[in-house]
Structure 1
Amino acid sequence: MRISKLYLLIALATSGPVFAADLALTPWAPSLKAEAVAFLPDGQTRLTASPRDGLQLLDSKGAELARLNGHFSSLDTRATGPHAVVASLDNDRQQALLINLNSAAKTWGQPLYLPPRDFPVNGLCLYRDAAANLFVFLVGEEGKGEQWLVGNGLTLLAEARRVRGVPLPPSAQFCQVDDATQQLVVNEENVGWWAYPAHPEAAVKRTPVALFDDSKREAGAMVLVPGGMVALDPKTAQLHLFQSSGARWVEQPSLGLPGLKEPEQLAINGRQLLVRDDDNGQLYQGTFDWQAKPVPVAPVLPEVAALRQSEPVGRQGDAADDPAIWVHPEHPGQSRVLGTNKKQGLLAYDLDGKLLQELAVGRLNNVDVRPRFKLGQQTVDLAVASNRDRNSLSLFSIDRQTGELREAGEVPTPLKEIYGMCLFQPAGGDIYAIANGKDGTFLQYRLSAPDGRVQGELVRQFKVDSQPEGCVADDQRQRLFIGEEDVGVWAVDARADQPATLTSVIKVGEQLHADVEGLALYQSAQHDYLVISSQGNDSYLVLDAEPPFASRGAFRVGLNAAAGIDGASETDGLEVTAVNLGGPWNQGLLVVQDGRKRMPEQTQNFKFVPWADVTRTLKLP
């Protein structure tokens, strides 16, 4: 057999050449005509899916224990003790089916069917995330794939929810998910095997497990085992073994399957192996001795769920960016969440996420608010946003009774590419805007409007070495936190008449993953926290807001199945308040931008999270 260039490299990278030994196989349950097979965790009971005999629960010798009549193909399970969720394809209805099975009582639950799809489904596989949410992946023809939320733990939803589409190889038939590493592996018949992130909030990307350019080879079914993968090659009748080594997979000595002409289906449980020969429809069993070396698994960050989400923004692509929270001075429940759409303007939502106002003033990037600004003879609250169309600061008045926003003017800046901004309001009451550009320049302006026309006086300028964006000011301590995207977070004196000496708060590393994006302060009578968007790993890091800026942990915003709200990922801006806004926000509200809107897939939006859930999840004092 001709060795491809890729496999030659793999062979050279290992301690010896890749060679084949034979695996001893004997027929198992010769009377069965199953199209797919799976082990249950006890190792004694098995499941089969058959176009003739339905779904069957079998003992170790192939005797039937329970049956669900019908005509089925493809099979996957997730089990806890005797309780399992079974996924299969109902050939009669041409729909994916999920059903509970109690193997001890030998009883089936009520089926959950996914809606009919507009493409033929070749295969499916299950995935259970760290929060016990259960998903099914559909592998379809012409590269069509989908991820659906179907349950939590062993409880199936009343109605499945489509989470996202996943572009897959055009000739894919088989898939498997490793729950621990959150990897989906899919075959591409004439090319090899690919790995995709399985988490619903992950970016759609793929990395090769093994690729070949040999027409005598074929990529078939696979089973993921801790630290590795076992994959079938129907053309050569071999099992190919792959050890995961972090960024790549290394092929181990393969195993021949003597007597099999066209192996198609594969199941492994510890040392037990079952494989089906499509040539005669017979199942074969063998003892499988290979074990992959364990690989380190990234720690799973705890998750909190959003209770509300804003309506999607009105522009496609990377549009929503940064939120701010305006607190009503008399009726906190009537507070507003402001959000920038950097392809449109400024948006205002109520606390349920309903859009109340949109001001199409241009490409606004970051926004911040402060109370009690003198606009001529009026006292208003003030919102300020960085305007990328004009490299300026756009100002908006907020009516302190109604929350209505109005354009209030503009402050030009000499920045060539304005980016982020935040506001600072010391005890004297003056409001300062601190804007930054992509070249690292920061400009600090004192804002005023004595005659009703806004103006900005440049009072300070400083610079960081690379691109910044997020910033937030601690008005009480007169401290400014700024984020340098690839470097980390700095603290600097916020006062205009003081030198801008940078002090490191935290650097990009194990806890904080570039890009460093939004920064916000949670300030209560008991504790002050700095919240940072760690965009590189879709998480949020909480630090003490005072030196030595101790870390209190990180979390993710995960899926809320009950409310039908997806998680948040690739977050740009965020904001938090400790004010009791009533209801679920009685200990404060965290708002984060969601860079990938799922379930359903729509334009970007903002997620609303009770701070009480963050406190409980991170065990904050």
Structure 2
Amino acid sequence: MRALILLAALTGPALAAPALPPAQASDAAALPGGAWLAIDRHALTLQDAGRTVASLPLRARQLDTRTGGADTLAVVIDANLERVQPLLVGGGRLQPLPPVPAPGFGIETACLYRDAQRLDHLFMVGKDGQAEQWLLRPQGHRIVRRLALPPHVKHCRVDDASATLFVAEEDYGLWAYGADAEGPPKRQALALVGAPGALKAGPGALALLPGGVAVVDGDGLLTWRRAGQGWQVQPRRPLDGGTKALAARGDTLLARGKAGWRALALDWPAPAAAAAPLPVVIPHAQTEPVARAGDAADDPAIWRHPTDPGAARILGTNKKQGLLVYDLRGRQTQLLESGRLNNVDVRQGVGFGAERLDLAIATQRDENSIVVFTIDAAGQVAEAARLPTPLAEIYGACLYQPAGGGLQAFVNDKDGRYLHYRIDRDGGRFGATLLRSFRTASQPEGCVADDASGTLFVGEEKRGLWVTPADAARAAPLQMVLPVGDVLVADVEGMGLYRGKERSYLVVSSQGNNSYVVLDAQPPYKVHGAFRIGIDAAAGIDGASETDGLEVTSADLGGPYGQGLLVVQDGYKRLPDGPQNFKYVAWTDVVAALGLR
């Protein structure tokens, strides 16, 4: 009698009876139109209206699916071969796809993730916590990254809307990780065994609900709903102590216990509509990785060849080694071991009397100096001078080429100080004369000067974007243009100026949400939106994230870069893992993504 009362409480009289998975199924996934994909002891089967439509002989476990268009992508673990088998479900057929290469560990669980580009990823997790993320492609699967997860993970699921990977660590707790590989590792404990009001027996089977997740905890069910940037636990519900599997059809949750499958009544309001995702642009190329692991690559600059657009050079700093030079295909052409360089900037045709030079400057953090480089007509870079500064922790830098000639440099310190120098040249030697100083209230880094308008843009990492005259004779207090908020998310990092024929744009790295904000470079500094840089799966180029420095040019560099080129530092090299590098984006793709003119 008690069991009947409990069943009535769980199902509820007002709950419409949904189609249930086959009684013998150890795991199941809902398909459009009321069909089910189910695992039994001998096969993976497609079930519709109580009959078997298709069957694939396979000793399978850990079923997960993603539906889009006419077909459903499914994955199961082949328990005999210890590898993941993807397949397409559609038209009454089960079509196996090429298996994912077996990792170097036994697979305990596997789950799917569909990202904002609608690309499908697979997570595979081993008993000892080893894990891999793969990009699933008909033309050949690619490993995205390796990651470390807790040991003894028996179940995983990914909430695509929030890019959250849920893993259930046996006898310990339920964890939430970032599923998007383009970002720093992060985790949150949703519930731990023994913590007040949390898990009693340890997490079991997982299922996703709209805007939330459900987990079996011994003889109970716990659910979490998305609440801002976190997750809010809902009251515990009783369950059959033998519940081993969960499945969801929309907001209806089904559980498999000792008596088979049954529906559970949940008071589960529809989640609030998610904000529209930022548009994604795809890089056309990437540079070879830098020669140092960890946080190494930092800031790029662009040099234009005087006669051959395709012979342009990209200068990039490696703050553990020196200055790197790349061609437009991303191949490294030079390495100048100048020490721990941070920011770099370039100006061409700089006049010193009758002399005209192409120059780059970079900040050297070991000596707190400005390093001056010359660039010849073939794009060969050479170190020419080191100019000392009184700064204690030199950091960011940018150049200003006044209309009257010469060259000026702005360098900053982590304490907020800015020093404004005129770069001098006398008797073939470079020097520097201090013109003024000013400061931000907290740590700055990126800056860029608009030579045409004489405006200096200054980024203060935690506060926002400022402007002030670049001309020392017109010095004025900093004026806030765009504070940190919904569009620009701290840290505010690199920035570059696109000088168009009719209007100019400022591009700013919004590091906190892995995006790039575009705004007018003239008052009232209208914001045109933000975009992200995504994956080119066919070319094996990963997206860009946690960008430090960037640069953009409107010069015609040929090919896809006929209207200009954006170069960004990539904080996390994926597809596969590796040292950091720089990504190349065609400006025409930015124009299309944001509707620019």
TM-score by length of 1: 0.90
1:553 aligns with 2:529: yes
Partner of 1:220: 204
1:240 aligns with 2:222: yes
Partner of 2:594: 618
* 1:249-264 alignment, distance < 5 Å: 249-258=231-240, 261-264=241-244
Partner of 1:100: 88
Deviation, structure 1 residue 33:
4.2
Equivalents in 1 of 2:23, 2:82: separation in Å? 23
Letter in 2 for 1:41: P
Shift in alpha-carbon separation, 1:479–1:377, aligned structure 2, 3 A: closer
- Deviations along 1:232-278, whole A, 9 cap, x unmatched? 12x32x222223322443332333234xx42221101136443334x
1:124 aligns with 2:78: no
Deviation, structure 1 residue 171:
1.4
Shift in alpha-carbon separation, 1:378–1:357, aligned structure 2, 3 A: farther
Letter in 2 for 1:23: L
Gapped regions of structure 1 (runs ≥ 5): 1-18, 152-156
Shift in alpha-carbon separation, 1:372–1:243, aligned structure 2, 3 A: closer
* 1:599-614 alignment, distance < 5 Å: 599-614=575-590
| Equivalent pair of 1:181/1:297 in contact (CA under 8 Å) | no
Shift in alpha-carbon separation, 1:162–1:136, aligned structure 2, 3 A: same
Partner of 2:28: 37
Shift in alpha-carbon separation, 1:210–1:20, aligned structure 2, 3 A: farther
Question: CA RMSD of the aligned region, Å?
Answer: 2.2
- Deviations along 1:424-461, whole A, 9 cap, x unmatched? 00122211011111111111111122311111111121
Equivalents in 2 of 1:122, 1:390: separation in Å? 51
1:208 aligns with 2:189: yes
- Deviations along 1:562-621, whole A, 9 cap, x unmatched? 111110010000000011100011111000000011111001110000110000010102
Letter in 2 for 1:230: A
Shift in alpha-carbon separation, 1:216–1:418, aligned structure 2, 3 A: closer
**543, 547, 557: which is aligned to 1:567?**
543
The farther-off stretch of 200-209 and 356-365 is 200-209
Letter in 2 for 1:54: A
**115, 119, 131: which is aligned to 1:145?**
131
TM-score by length of 2: 0.94
Letter in 2 for 1:198: A
Partner of 2:341: 364
Equivalents in 1 of 2:560, 2:127: separation in Å? 45
**167, 177, 185: which is aligned to 2:148?**
167
Shift in alpha-carbon separation, 1:201–1:271, aligned structure 2, 3 A: closer
* 1:10-409 alignment, distance < 5 Å: 22-24=9-11, 33-42=24-33, 44-50=34-40, 52-61=41-50, 63-80=51-68, 82-102=70-90, 105-151=91-137, 157-213=138-194, 217-233=201-217, 235-236=218-219, 238-258=220-240, 261-270=241-250, 272-277=252-257, 283-292=260-269, 294-295=271-272, 297-373=274-350, 379-400=356-377, 402-409=378-385
Equivalents in 2 of 1:218, 1:504: separation in Å? 51
Give the secondary-structure state (helix, strand or coil) at the position aligned to 1:552.
strand
Deviation, structure 1 residue 81:
5.0
Shift in alpha-carbon separation, 1:544–1:34, aligned structure 2, 3 A: same
- Deviations along 1:63-118, whole A, 9 cap, x unmatched? 2111112221111111135411111111222111111111xx21233412111111
Partner of 2:561: 585
- Deviations along 1:492-541, whole A, 9 cap, x unmatched? 11112222321221111111111110010001112200000011111000
| Equivalent pair of 1:22/1:255 in contact (CA under 8 Å) | no
The farther-off stretch of 313-322 and 200-209 is 200-209
Give the secondary-structure state (helix, strand or coil) at the position aligned to 2:488.
coil
Shift in alpha-carbon separation, 1:490–1:28, aligned structure 2, 3 A: closer
Shift in alpha-carbon separation, 1:285–1:616, aligned structure 2, 3 A: same
| Equivalent pair of 1:100/1:111 in contact (CA under 8 Å) | yes
Q: What is the identity percentage for the equivalent residue pairs of Structure 1 and Structure 2?
A: 46
Shift in alpha-carbon separation, 1:409–1:99, aligned structure 2, 3 A: same
Letter in 2 for 1:239: L
Equivalents in 1 of 2:480, 2:381: separation in Å? 37
How many pairs does the alignment contain? 585
The farther-off stretch of 551-560 and 459-468 is 459-468
| Equivalent pair of 2:288/2:330 in contact (CA under 8 Å) | yes
Equivalents in 1 of 2:312, 2:339: separation in Å? 24
Gapped regions of structure 2 (runs ≥ 5): 1-5
Equivalents in 2 of 1:82, 1:106: separation in Å? 11
- Deviations along 1:398-432, whole A, 9 cap, x unmatched? 002x1001111111111111100000001222110
| Equivalent pair of 2:301/2:550 in contact (CA under 8 Å) | yes
Equivalents in 2 of 1:328, 1:405: separation in Å? 13
Give the secondary-structure state (helix, strand or coil) at the position aligned to 2:153.
coil
Letter in 1 for 2:126: G
| Equivalent pair of 2:110/2:156 in contact (CA under 8 Å) | yes
Shift in alpha-carbon separation, 1:361–1:265, aligned structure 2, 3 A: same
Equivalents in 2 of 1:334, 1:135: separation in Å? 37
Give the secondary-structure state (helix, strand or coil) at the position aligned to 2:62.
strand
Partner of 1:7: none
Give the secondary-structure state (helix, strand or coil) at the position aligned to 2:542.
coil
| Equivalent pair of 1:580/1:587 in contact (CA under 8 Å) | yes
* 1:508-519 alignment, distance < 5 Å: 508-519=484-495
| Equivalent pair of 2:127/2:152 in contact (CA under 8 Å) | yes
